[in-house]
A and B are shown apart, each in its own frame.
Chain A
Amino acid sequence: MAWSRKSAMFASLATALYLLGLVLRNQQLVTVAVVLLSFLTYAAFRTSHADVSSTGRRLEDEDFDEGAAFGTLNAMRQLSQPRVFEDHEIDVTLRIQNLSPLSKILEVRDSVPEVMRVKKGANYALMELGGRRETELKYTLECPLRGFYSIGPVAVRVQDTFGLFHREKEIHLYDDFLVFPKMEDIKDAFVKSKVPKIFTGAVNIRNPGEGSNFYNLREYVPGDPMRKVNWKAMARSGKVMVNEFERDAVSDIILIVDSRAMSETGPVSRNSLVYSTRAAASLAQYFLSRRDSVGLVIYGDEIMSVDRDSGKKQLYMLLTKLAGASARGNTPLRVVTNRILPHINKGSPIIIMSPLEDDKTVVDAVRDLRARNFDTTVLSPSSLEFEFDARRLDRTGYEVLKTERDILISELRGLGAHVMDWEPDMLLSTALAGARGF
C-alpha cells in the first residue's frame, strides 16, 4: 500500500499537532491529531488489499480469448490490425474483468507508445466495476511514425475514495504492432537500366531489342521484317527506315537508405530518415508492381540488407526492414558500396537516400559506382532545410552550410550521378523527376 503526498501531509500534521498538544498541554490540538489519525487509519483499512498481482507473463497476439488472470482482475486486449501504414489508425479494445464478487473503484491506464496519439476514446479510465462484471475500454490510436511498437502494460490502481492510499500494479499484457512508412504513388518509370536480365519484365531497359516501346529509327538492313518499316519516315527521308523498339526486361533496383545517427536531425516527424524511408517504400512498391527485382541496404551502425527479389512477399520484407530502421552509428557510404558492389549486376540502377552530411567518403563512393557504370541516383533530403524551417538554424549558419552542400552536390553531378536536393515540401515524384532531369 502506497501513501500519497496528501496522506503523508495528514500524518505529519497529526504527529506535529499531537506532540505540540502534549508540549503546550493543549487538549484541543491533541483531539485534532487523534481525529486526523483515526481518519487516516480508517482510510487505510478501507483500501483494498491484494486485488491485483503480477506474474510478468507476456502474451502472444492471438491470446485474446485467454487473457492473463491476475488476482481478481483479468485484462485482455485486441487490436484491429497488427500492421498499419503511417498516419493510419488502429483500434484497441481493452477488456477488464472483475472476478471478485465485490465492486471496485479502479483507475486503468493502458500504456501506449509516446509517439502515438489517442484520437478517439481514452486509454485512461476511472471506473466503478461491479462484482463479477466486465467492461471494455475502446480507443483509436493514430500512428504518425513508422516503427515497431508495443501497447502495454496495463497499469491498474485501486485506491480509497479520499485518495490517501493506493495500491498499484502492472498487468504485463503486451500487444506488438508494426507501422510501415507511408508510400507515395509514383506514376512514371524514371529509372531505367542499361543491362537486361534473362527474364522479360515490364520495365524497359534502354537498349534496342524486341519490345513494345519505340526506341529509335534506323536504316533498313536486309533481314528486317517488312512490318517494322516506317513508311512515313521513308517518305520524308527517301530512304527505307525501320522502327527500333526497347527490349522489355526486368532490372535490379538497389535502394540504399542512410540511417546514420545524424539522419534523424530535425523534428521527430520530419527528418531525413523519415523522408528516406518513405521514399524507399514508395520506390520499392513501384518497382515491385512492375515485376522488377528490388534489393535494400540500410546502413547506420551496421549494414542491413535485403537481397533482391520480386513480388508481394518482398515488398512486405522491405517495408518491415524500413519500419525498423533506427538512426544509429556512422558507417561511411564507401564501406557500404565496397561491400555490396561485388554482389550486384553492373549497370543496375542504384538509388541512394541520404542527407550526404558528415560523410567524407560520399564522393569516392559515387565515383566508384559511376566508374563501374552503375546508374546512380541520389535523393538527398536536406536536414539543413528541416532545421532552418524549425528556426533552429540562423541565416548565416544556413547559408554557410548550404553553400558547402551545393558544392558537394555539384561535384556528385559532375561524376554523372543524378542528384536531387530534396526540399521538405517537395513530393517524391517531383524530386525524382528533378533528379532524372525529366
Chain B
Amino acid sequence: MSTSQIETTGASDTSHLYDGKVVRSSAPSRKKAAGKMTQGTELPKDAIPEVHIPTFIESLFGGPLVTKMKFLPASRSVQNLQIASAAVMVLLAVLTYVVTPVSGTPWYWISSAIGAAWLGLIIHMLVILIGIGAGFWGLFQRDQRFLLISYVFFILVSLRFAASKVSFEVDLLPEGDLAQKVLLILYAICLVMYMELSNGVIRFSMLDTSIRTQEVYVMNEKKILSRYHASLLITPIVAGVVALITLLVNLIVPAIVAIFDPIAAVRMGESVELTSVYGVALGTMIVFLVVAGMFGINLPLRIQQFRERTD
C-alpha cells in the first residue's frame, strides 16, 4: 500500500504532527492480515515508520535550522549573497588561472607524453571552466551538489607537482617574494571566501524560507545580517594576516635571529629549506603553536570575561 493511499484529510488528518504523513499509533495487528493471512505473510510496509535521514551533502550544507526543504524565491539578502559569491568566484577563476600553471598537472604529463602539449592547456582551462559553470549553476539554482562539484574542480586544478618556489602562468606578474606571496594569499582567501559565501547562500536561503514559512521567527534580522557582513570583511583579513606571517617565516625568523647573531641570520635567510614549502611548514608550526597555547589558557573565555567586566 503506497503512502499516498493512507493519507486522509479533515478531522483525522494528523499530518501536522508527523512531517506530512498521517501516522497510526499502533501496528495493524491482526486486522491487516485478517481473511488472507498465510504462513508467509509479511509485515505490512506501512506499519514501518519512514524517517528522513539527511544525506551527507544535505548535512554539510544544512545549517542548524532546517536539514531539507524546498527554497522559496531568493530574498534580497540571498540575491546579494549570490551576486557576491559569483563575483568572488570569477575573481577566483582568474587568480586560479594566474597562479596555477599547467606544468606539473597530471593532464600536462599525459598530453606531453602523447606529444600534444596544447591538449594539456585545454584540459586545464576546461577544469577551471567546469568549476565556474558548476559554481554558477549551484549558486543561482541553490543546488548544493553543483557547489560541491565546483569546489572539487577548483581544488583539483591546483593539485600539481611543483617546485618549492612559486611559479605563475602569467609572466607579467610581480617577481618580488612578498608580492608573490600576497598574490598567493589573495588566491587562497578567494577560494575560502567563495566556499563560505556559496555556503552562506544556502544557509540564508534556508533561514529565509524558514522565516517566510513561519517555522522560525527572527528578531533584528538586519543586525544579524550586518554582523555576518562584518565577519565576511574581518575574517578574511585576519586569516590573510595570519597566513602572511606564516608564509613570511623565512623573513621573520632571520630577523629575530639577527638580534642575537647577524651572521647566522644571513645564512638562515639564504637557506633553501627556509624559503621552500618546508619553511612554510615551519612557519605554520610556530604560528599554530602560539594559537594552541592561547586556547590552552582559555584565552577566548578570559577575553570575554574581561569585556563583560569592563563594559
Contacts and interface: CB of A to CB of B under 8 A. Distances in A.
Interface string A376-411: 000000011001011111101111110000000000
A394 B243 CA distance: 69
A389 B14 CA distance: 14
A304 interface: no
B7 to A, nearest CB: 9
Interface in A33-60: 34-39, 41-50
Interface string A332-374: 0000000000000000000000000000000000000000000
Contacts of A121: 217
A24 interface: yes
Interface residues of A, number: 90
B192 A36 contact: yes
A25 B165 CA distance: 9
Given A28-B99, A270-B11, A102 B304 contact: yes
A397 B34 contact: yes
Given A17-B155, A31-B187, A49-B301, A268 B219 contact: no
A47 B235 CA distance: 13
B235 A43 contact: yes
Contacts of B64: 4, 107, 157, 159, 163, 166
B227 A401 contact: no
Contacts of A21: 277
Given A9-B60, A389-B12, A39 B235 contact: yes
B308 A102 contact: yes
A161 B23 contact: no
Contacts of A126: 65, 207, 216-219, 224
B311 interface: yes
Interface string B128-139: 000000000000
The main secondary structure of chain B at its interface with chain A is helix
Nearest to B292: A41
B38 interface: no
B91 interface: no
A202 interface: no
Interface stretch (B24-32, B70-78, B81-89, B259-267): B24-32
A217 interface: no
Nearest to A37: B288
A267 B217 contact: no
Interface string A252-264: 0000000001101
A122 B215 contact: yes
A29 interface: yes
Nearest to A16: B155
5 contacts: A43-B235, A122-B216, A128-B219, A161-B230, A392-B1
